[in-house]
Structures are given as C-alpha cells and as structure tokens.
Amino acid sequence: MNESHKSRRTIYLASPYGFSAQWKRLLLPEFIRALEGLGLEVWEPFERNGQVDLSKPGWAHQVAQRDLQDVRDADALFAIVNGTPPDEGVMVELGAAIALGKPTFLFRDDFRRCTDSEEFPLNLMLFAGLPDQGWNDFFYASVEEISDQDKALSRWAQTTSIQAESFR
C-alpha cells in the first residue's frame, strides 16, 4: 500500500480471539481500544476478512490469503501469544511479519511457560524479530501496558515512516 494514501499507521492484530463469540465480544475490544489509543489503525483479521460464505469451496484459502496480504501491507504486527503453545495461525502471521522485517510486538498474560530457554518466556524463535538488548520493551504482559509511553509500541506509533524503517 502506498504510504501517502494512509492516514495513520496500521497494525495487524494477530489473535486467536475471533474464533469464539465470547472471546471476540469480551477480549478483542479491549486490545483494539488500547492500540487505537496510540493513534493506530488496527487491522483485526476476523473483522476485515472473516465475512465469507463458509459453505462455499475455497473459503479457508481465501481468508488465509487475505490475512497474509494484510500482514504484508500493515506497518507492524501485534501478536497475542497466549497458550501453550500459542495459536498456530498467530505464529504463522508473526513469522511472516518477522521475515518481512516488520516491527513486531508480543503480548502474553498467560502465566504458563512455553519455552526452550531460561532467557525468554516463549520459544526463542518468537523473539527473532525483537532486538537482542531491550526485547522486554516489545513484550507486553497486560493491556494497560500497551499505553506505556516508555515501551516500544508507543515510541514506534509516534515515529515517522522514515524513522520506522530503522526502528528495530
């Protein structure tokens, strides 16, 4: 997407919370509000790409392709990585964003550990898109923390497009 056509920064919200009506109603709005509170345009895939006829052949491929295109087009990705292991779709979206060099931000308030090292609370590959030093600034353990002006997401939301290129 052409940068000049965007009115504000876009962030793809990678989350498993759209699969459950209750989670979608109770959990997603809080994340969307917190991210919008930083002045970001939130791309929530269940809202953007989930309006398909599930009885039609090929619907799953269509949704997956749209979601992947949104990951490509978004300026950054915010991944909810709860679960042991975290949701497979979220992991694919996060991996794609890392491979594309997008700024990535991780959220986990799940107290269970799912790790292969003592250094990180999750599989070390999930941290490949974060800086070696200061990765904690890109990791969020509460929704309230999203608005923390000292953390990476808030700082990134305030950068210009040119500054964002070298954000990590």
Q: Is 157 helix (H, G, I), strand (E, B) or coil?
A: helix
| pTM of this structure | 0.88
CB 114 within 8 A of CB 85: yes
CATH code for position 60: 3.40.50.450
- The rounded distance, in Å, linking the Cα atoms of 107 and 83 is 11
121 DSSP 8-state letter? S
CB 67 within 8 A of CB 52: no
The pLDDT confidence band at residue 124, using thresholds 50, 70 and 90, is: confident
User: So what's the pLDDT on residue 73?
Assistant: 97
Average confidence (pLDDT) over 143-157:
96
Query: Hunting for tokens 């003592």 — which residue is that?
Result: 118
- Asked whether residue 2 is domain-assigned, the answer is no
User: So what's the pLDDT on residue 75?
Assistant: 97
Number of structural domains in the chain:
1
Q: For residue 31, report the phi and psi dihedrals to the nearest 5 degrees.
A: -70, -45
Residues 6+ apart with CB under 8 A from 115: 121, 122, 123, 124
- Asked whether residue 42 is domain-assigned, the answer is yes
Q: Which domain holds residue 12?
A: 7-163
Average confidence (pLDDT) over 132-140:
95
- Asked whether residue 1 is domain-assigned, the answer is no
Residues 6+ apart with CB under 8 A from 27: 17
- Asked whether residue 168 is domain-assigned, the answer is no
- Asked whether residue 100 is domain-assigned, the answer is yes
CB 83 within 8 A of CB 12: no
- Asked whether residue 93 is domain-assigned, the answer is yes
The pLDDT confidence band at residue 2, using thresholds 50, 70 and 90, is: very low
